[in-house]
Structure 1
Amino acid sequence: MNATLAGVAIGAVLAISALVFGFWGFLLVALFMGIGALVGRIVSGKLDVRDLAGALSGRKTS
């Protein structure tokens, strides 16, 4: 799946959630999509949790 197709799919899911569930449902779906993307990157090994925690706590820079 290329980036354009992924963007279209994400946009469609968010648009449908906004129409069906309203503004707060839209925000909840967007939040869970972000959490899912973060977990997916951690599981696939593309994101190191220790480096992320160090960057957020100010110990390391990215």
Structure 2
Amino acid sequence: MNWDQIAGRWKQVRGHVKREWGRLTEDDVDRVDGQREKLVGLIQEAYGIEREEADRQIRNWFSRL
């Protein structure tokens, strides 16, 4: 699976995102709309972490899908 497939199935995947990053609100997840860079930024902001760490978390999550 690649990120384009995630973006295309965003409505199905959004529940997985909420479970992984519980601090993100429904509105946050809706705003991401499958865009990886937006997700990185929101995770970074919500958890107060560096961009590289947010990116690493997304890669790890993505590998488990």
Give TM-score, length-normalised by structure 2: 0.37
Q: Which has the higher helix share?
A: 1
Greater C-alpha radius of gyration: 1
Higher relative contact order (CA 8 A, sep 6+): 2
Give TM-score, length-normalised by structure 1: 0.39
